[in-house]
Amino acid sequence: MQKRIKVGILGPGNIGTDLMYKVLRSPLLEMSVMIGIDPTSEGLNRARKEGVVASDQGIDFLVQNPDLAEIVIDATTARAHSEVNAPLLKKLGKIAIDLTPAAVGKMATPMVNMKDCLNEENVNLITCGGQATTPIVYAINQAVPVEYAEVITTVASDSAGPGTRNNIDEYTRTTANALMKLAGVGRAKVMTIFNPAIPQMPMRNTIFCIPKTSDFRIEAVIQAVQEMARKIQEYVPGYQLTVAPVIDRGIITTTVTIEGAGDFLPKYSGNLDIETASAVKMAEMFAEKLLKERGEVA
């Protein structure tokens, strides 16, 4: 039987609960412990119902039971991660996958740079827009060098928590930064729109790229983007290429729409699903590496 790597989740809120159901499905991960600070937490109850160890003692519980997890996914807050969790996890020698905007570790996305991050002890998920669009800009940039990338993200108002809404500039800056650093483009600009329509719309990202040269075939760009979309679909089934790259007046336009898997979070919140699905994918990549090193991969 395939050995699995033990995973703990910090923060049993909506995101943490969605993460748990995804980890429970993974062939490489064992959903080992769910940790919160509120004894009345619905997420902790759900974990117990699934037969998962659950504690309301906070990260101290992990300090006292360090064998419960090798990989810890943090879905708390930026402050909790940078001030408490990240230093403690480092001390315990755990791999940290950080969904908060704390940006303690290296920015990572499974299909762009995760292979270079497997020796890191702490990686962070950038932002939902960053997870959704960095791979596409990266793929386009492989087909034709991109001078400027612009991303317009529209999400359902109901899917955007206060963390994003009250810190929209920080979100914008982090996402643009990821486009430059991970996708390798010279300049980037990000715009975010919240649409309150009911029924709620899935996450939508339009990506404009200005290539450095006109000497390229749009077919090659389309192929690169389609290939990338297929790879992402393996861990985010609701990732759809709505407008395959079209070129008009020298600008390449691509639109991707993301519907969530509906594990716990509502389906329209594809922006959250791509975060939780990417975090679990990253945990699996770490797990695969650890299992291989131990000669335990089937």
Partner 1 sequence: MRRVRIIDTTLRDGSHAMHHQYTPEHVFNICSGLEKAGVYAVEVGHGAGAGGSVLQFGLAKHSDRELLTAAARALSRSKLAVLLVPGLGTMEDLKLAYECGARMVRVAVHCTEVDVGAQHIRLGKELGMEVAAFFMMSHMTTPEALAAQAKMAQGYGADMIYIADSSGAQTPHDMEARVRAVQKEVPNLPIGVHCHNNLGLGVANPLAAVDAGAELIDGALEGWGAGCGNTSTQVVAAVLHKMGIDTGTDWYELVETGERYVRPLINRSLEVTNEALILGYTGIYSSFYLRVLEAAEQYGVSPKLIFEGLGRRKVVGGQEDVILDVALELQRQKEAAVS
Q: Least CB distance from residue 53 to partner 1, whole Å? A: 37
CB nearer partner 1, residue 113 or residue 172 = 172
* Binding-residue total with partner 1 (CB under 8 A): 31
274-298 b/e (C-beta count within 10 Å ≥ 16 → b): bbbbbbbbbbbbbbebbbeeeeeee
Among 45, 77, 154, 226, binds partner 1 (CB under 8 A): 154
Shortest Cβ 163–partner 1 spacing (Å) = 12
Asked if residue 180 binds partner 1 (CB under 8 A), the reply is no
The reply to whether 253 sits near partner 1 by the rule CB under 8 A is yes
Token pair belonging to 176: 């643009």
Tell me if 226 contacts partner 1 by CB under 8 A.
no
Which stretch in 34-42, 179-187, 228-236, 243-251 sits in contact with partner 1 by CB under 8 A?
Answer: 243-251
Stretch of residues binding partner 1 (CB under 8 A), selected from 12-20, 72-80, 126-134, 239-247: 239-247
172 belongs to the binding site for partner 1 (CB under 8 A): yes
The position carrying tokens 């879905």 is: 75
Check binding of 255 to partner 1 (CB under 8 A): yes
Q: Which is nearer to partner 1, 95 or 176 (CB)?
A: 176
Is 128 a catalytic site residue? yes
Q: Does 141 bind partner 1 (CB under 8 A)?
A: no
CB 245 within 8 A of CB 221: yes
Cβ atoms within 10 Å, residue 222: 19
- Which residue's CB is nearer to partner 1, number 64 or number 242? 242
Structure tokens that stand for 4 in this block: 């699995």
243 belongs to the binding site for partner 1 (CB under 8 A): yes
Task: Give the span between the Cα atoms of 98 and 46, in whole angstroms.
Answer: 22
For 32, 68, 85, 157, 272, the CA distances from 198, given in Å and listed in that order, are 37, 42, 37, 10, 18
Least distance in Å: CB of 147 to partner 1? 12
Candidates 73-81, 107-115, 138-146, 164-172: pick the segment binding partner 1 (CB under 8 A).
164-172
Q: Does 216 bind partner 1 (CB under 8 A)?
A: no
Q: Is 208 in the site for partner 1 (CB under 8 A)?
A: yes
Q: Pick from 77, 195, 226, 240: which binds partner 1 (CB under 8 A)?
A: 195
Query: Which residues are designated catalytic?
Result: 128
- Residues near partner 1 (CB under 8 A): 150, 152, 154, 157, 162, 165-169, 172-173, 189, 191-197, 201, 204, 206, 208, 210, 242-243, 246, 251, 253, 255
